[in-house]
Every structure is written in C-alpha cells, then in structure tokens.
Amino acid sequence: MRISDLRSRLHAAGAGPSHAFRVLRLWSQALPQDSGKRRVEDFLPQALREALPAIEAELDGLARVVSIHPGEDGSERLLVGLADGQMVESVLLPRDGLCISSQVGCAVGCLFCMTGQSGLVRQVGSAEMVAQVVLARRRRPVKKVVFMGMGEPAHNLDNVLEAIDLLGTAGNVGHKNLVLSTVGDPRVFERLPQQKVKPALALSLHTTKAELRERLLPRAPQMTPEELVERGDAYARATGYPIQYQWTLLEGVNDGDDELDGIVRLLAGRYGVLNMIPFNKVEGLDFHRPSWERAASLARSLHRRGILTKLRHSAGQDVDGGCGQLRARAVQRVDA
Ligand code: SF4
C-alpha cells in the first residue's frame, strides 16, 4: 500500500485534510487513540468512523516483527514480515535512531553486501516503510529515521519520498533527522531539492577510484566519485545538512594509503563528514575487515590532513546480522 492510496481511501470515506492528518499522525507516531483529551474518533465524520476499523486493521497487517536480535551496543535488529510473506530488516539504533529498508533485495549488487546478492525481489511500499517505523515505536522512541537498510532508495524514489514526507510532517521526525542513503543517482539530486520535506543525504562512496567503484558497486549509476561529491556538496549547502560520506573498509581493497590522497582531493573543504565503517562479515563473501588499529590510523591521517572522519562500528555487528543476513537465513530456512 502506498500512502497516497491510504489518503484516497480516507478521502473516499469522508475525511478532509485535517481528519486525514489526525489519522496519519496517530498511526505514524504509534499513539493510542485516546492519547489526546478526546479520542480522535470523536472528531471524525460518521462515515469515516465506520470505515476506520477496517483501514486500521489493514495498516496493522502491513508489517509484523518476526524475530528480534539484540546487539551488545544497545541496537536491536528486527526481522520484519510483510503481508505477502516477504521479509525485510529494520535496525533500532542507539540514541533513538532507526534504520529501515526500502526494497526487498536490491539491484545494485554491491559485492560486499548480502542484500545485493539476491537482486531485487520487490519494492517496499511507502506505507510499509512507515509501518517499520510504527513497529519500532511500539518498542522504543524513534527520533531519527535512516533509509539505509535493504535496498537502494533511489530505485524506489516515489515511495521513499512519500514516506519521508509523512514522517517529516504527521510523523514528528525532524527533517534533518530523516536520512536518505544512496549510491548516488542523478534522480535523487534532481528531485530532493523540490521536496517540501528535504532529508539529509548519506552517499556511499567506498573508494575515490572510479574503476574500483564500478567493480564494487556494479549496477550503480555511472557517476564518478567527483560528480557524486560535487552534487552532494551542492545539496548540503542548499539545505544546511552536511553530507555523510559512507566508506565500508575492506581489507586490501580500499584501506590503503593510496586512497588517502584521493580522499583529501575529493573532500577537502566539502560540507560533510566521512564515516568509515569496517566491513561486517558476510557469510560466503570473500572480504575481510582491516584491524581496528589500521582503521584508526587511516582516520587519524585524514584528521591531520583536515578531513572530518569518524570511525564507526556497524550497529549490532555482534548479532551477525549485517544488512540482509537475517532475511537470507530466514529464506534459507523456508526453502529447506
Ligand atoms: Fe544495495 Fe546498499 Fe547492498 Fe549496495 S550495499 S547492494 S546499494 S543494499
């Protein structure tokens, strides 16, 4: 279900814009019906009150928690079942963050990512994205939502933008706390500046070498690292939200001193931060993470050369559930 379908259903049942907003607000914030002084239903026209239980039941059925995998860092990975039996992953992050999935599978096929191995299975609807937020909010507060789970948001942009719009209005998430993560796609840079709710951007850079990037991200749009940074920087300056440049550290692939000059050349003076995240092991893939000492030495060298660099662990890495692995295992169990 898309949020636009949901709005049409509410409209057909007699809801004006403010009625629809109230219903969407309660749903997306996972608030109980009686959270105000009066039940929200008291404000609604009779026809809508009658239609509401069926609509709410459908919204409730959009997503359910299949399993919960707590990490030592306070994160929780959720395997989420969708109404047609497909599954995606959401990650509750420390400090009230949530990472959600925008596709089942992914067509980009990054060599170091489990999700990329399955190809695209199907798009996740905008209402299913918000339903992941609702599930998470039933467990703990969510103040930041990152579209960084399974899938490439640029390949499902209409749905992602609808979800962002709802979360940034009725859903009570600050616009700079909505983060769209992408490998970089011209459509993102064309459409985001036109949105009422403009999210912050995370760009998956991973290397400064165009050829290596094409090999690591085989079906990403062929934007060079220079173009990507140029367009990202323009968006960052227009919105006032710094770009997060993502760099998955792969031992012997993109953790060498030879990348340092390229990073300084690309990112010096840019409005952004470089997030280096040592690779989270993925069963069956022949990549390894560098030692923490090696990663820290890279980050220190970049700092000395004026590049704001953060070295991070990927959330919940101890649960062995890096993006796509919980789903892959569950699918294997079903197939067996
Ligand atoms: Fe897709 Fe992201 Fe995985 Fe690449 S890392 S295959 S873009 S989900």
Rounded to an integer, what distance in angstroms lies between the CA atom of residue 27 and that of residue 62? Answer: 12
Ligand 1 centroid to Cα of residue 51, in Å, is 39
- Per-residue pLDDT at 333 exceeds 70: no
Ligand 1 centroid to Cα of residue 107, in Å, is 8
From 76, 89, 128, 259, active-site residue: 89
Helix locations, 113-224, DSSP H: 114-117, 126-137, 157-168, 186-191, 210-216
Segment holding 278, helix H or strand E: strand 272-278
**Are residues 258 and 209 in contact, defined by beta-carbon separation less than 8 angstroms?**
no
Q: Which of 25-39, 130-144, 308-322 has the highest mean pLDDT?
A: 130-144
Rounded to an integer, what distance in angstroms lies between the CA atom of residue 326 and that of residue 324? Answer: 6
Q: What are phi and psi of 298, to 5 degrees?
A: -60, -45
- Per-residue pLDDT at 18 exceeds 70: yes
- Per-residue pLDDT at 319 exceeds 70: no
- Per-residue pLDDT at 94 exceeds 60: yes
Kindly report the pTM of this predicted structure.
0.94
Question: Is residue 50 annotated as part of the catalytic site, yes or no?
Answer: no
**Are residues 285 and 216 in contact, defined by beta-carbon separation less than 8 angstroms?**
no
Share of the chain above pLDDT 90, in %: 81
ipTM above 0.85, yes or no: yes
Ligand 1 binding site (Cβ under 6 Å of any ligand atom): 106, 108-110, 113, 115-116, 150-152, 183
- The counts of H helices and E strands in the chain are 12, 12
Model confidence band, residue 36 (pLDDT cutoffs 50, 70, 90): low
Question: How many C-beta atoms surround the C-beta of residue 16 within 10 A?
Answer: 12
Identify the residue whose C-alpha is closest to ligand 1 atom 6.
116
The tally of CA atoms less than 13 A away on the side-chain side of residue 330 is 19
Question: How many C-beta atoms surround the C-beta of residue 292 within 10 A?
Answer: 11
Q: pLDDT tens digits for 66-82?
A: 999 998 888 999 999 99
Helix locations, 29-125, DSSP H: 46-60, 114-117
Q: pLDDT tens digits for 153-164?
A: 999 999 999 999
Find where tokens 């290397």 sit.
207
Model confidence band, residue 332 (pLDDT cutoffs 50, 70, 90): low
Ligand 1 centroid to Cα of residue 162, in Å, is 21
Query: What is the reported pLDDT for 40?
Result: 63
Ligand 1 centroid to Cα of residue 313, in Å, is 18
Closest alpha carbon to 121 in 104, 139, 146, 142: 104
Which of 115, 250, 285 has most ligand 1 atoms within 8 Å of its beta carbon, as the pocket-test mutant?
A: 115
- Per-residue pLDDT at 100 exceeds 50: yes
Q: pLDDT tens digits for 212-242?
A: 999 999 999 889 999 999 999 999 999 999 9
Question: Is residue 89 annotated as part of the catalytic site, yes or no?
Answer: yes
Q: pLDDT tens digits for 258-300?
A: 999 999 999 999 999 999 999 988 888 999 999 999 999 999 9
